A and B are shown apart, each in its own frame.
Chain A
Amino acid sequence: TQLLEQSPQFLSIQEGENLTVYCNSSSVFSSLQWYRQEPGEGPVLLVTVVTGGEVKKLKRLTFQFGDARKDSSLHITAAQPGDTGLYLCAGAGNSGGSNYKLTFGKGTLLTVNP
């Protein structure tokens, strides 16, 4: 059973379009992180959200943590080809567990076509 479910699994869009990807769980997390992974590379941390209802913006990327700290979303405005990659969410400290232990979703593979 996957603790963190990401959707959609694959997403292919045209440059300039907006998109939202989701990360859902039945577990409560103390914090949730979003990573982007490019082919042949390791995941790179984009943002950490820790407070229920929190919204963080990183240029064209908007991250939201659900009020109950069980789910999160990533919205990209005016997507660019450079946004192409695998987007992973990872939860820490689920059910009171250790914060070092990250539970990863399987990711959303985003392709932005020029």
Chain B
Amino acid sequence: DAGVIQSPRHEVTEMGQEVTLRCKPISGHNSLFWYRQTMMRGLELLIYFNNNVPIDDSGMPEDRFSAKMPNASFSTLKIQPSEPRDSAVYFCASSLRSRTDTQYFGPGTRLTVL
């Protein structure tokens, strides 16, 4: 079975540009999470969706970040405008039930903002 799919795997962009990261969760999973991983701060939860509805976006850094989940099989994380401090690895994870703490992570998107 396919795991969580993320695209692109690597993204290099210039400061000020818009960046869109994509995620396809595991089929049948109804919870989706976006995380950011950096050396300084480790792995941090950005936003959590349940049944396509954003439940907790308290980890979203600022208004430059937005996330959508238009259907059960697709989610996007957008950064506009991007800044060098946004450089990190962004992970998407999904889980089967809303209250479970078993999350399955995708391979991540490594974002570099020059």
- Known contacts being A42-B107, A104-B43, A107-B42, is A33 close to B101, with CB within 8 Å? yes
B105 touches A42 (CB 8 A): yes
Within 8 A of A (CB), among B91-112: 91, 93, 95, 98-108
For B42, B48, B95, B98, which residue has the most chain A Cβ atoms within 10 angstroms? B42
Please give, as numbers and ranges, the residues of chain B lying within 8 Å of A31 by CB-CB distance. 101
The answer to whether the Cβ of A48 comes within 8 Å of any Cβ in the partner chain is: yes
Q: How distant is the Cα of A99 from the Cα of B56 in the complex, in angstroms?
A: 12
Q: Give the contacting residue for B56; candidates A33, A43, A101; CB below 8 A.
A: A101
Cα-based distance from A45 to B93 in the complex (angstroms): 12
Name B3's closest neighbour in chain A (CB-CB). Answer: A42
Q: Does B4 reach chain A (CB closer than 8 Å)?
A: yes
Asked if A45 and B45 sit within 8 Å, CB to CB, the answer is no
Given A41-B107, A43-B105, the answer on whether A102 and B45 have CB atoms closer than 8 Å is yes
Inter-chain contact A42/B91, CB cutoff 8 Å:
yes
When distances are taken between beta carbons in the complex, the residues of chain B under 8 Å from A101 are 45, 48, 56
For residue B44, which residues in chain A have a CB less than 8 angstroms away from its CB? 104
Chain A residue nearest to B38 in the complex (CB):
A106
Asked if residues B106 and A42 are in contact (CB atoms below 8 Å), the reply is yes
Q: Which of B93, B101, B107 contacts A40 (CB 8 A)?
A: B107
11 examples of A-B residue contacts, CB within 8 angstroms: A33-B101, A42-B91, A42-B105, A42-B107, A45-B104, A48-B102, A92-B101, A99-B100, A100-B31, A100-B99, A102-B45
**B residues with CB within 8 A of A:** 4, 31, 33, 41-45, 48, 56, 91, 93, 95, 98-108
Binding site for B on A (CB under 8 A): 2, 31, 33, 40-45, 48, 88, 90, 92-93, 98-102, 104-107
Beyond A99-B100, A100-B33, A100-B56, 7 extra complex contacts between A and B, CB < 8 Å: A2-B42, A40-B107, A42-B4, A42-B91, A90-B43, A100-B99, A104-B42
Ranked nearest first, the 10 interchain pairs of A and B with the lowest CB-CB distance are A42-B105, A106-B42, A104-B43, A92-B101, A99-B101, A43-B105, A42-B91, A42-B106, A104-B42, A42-B108
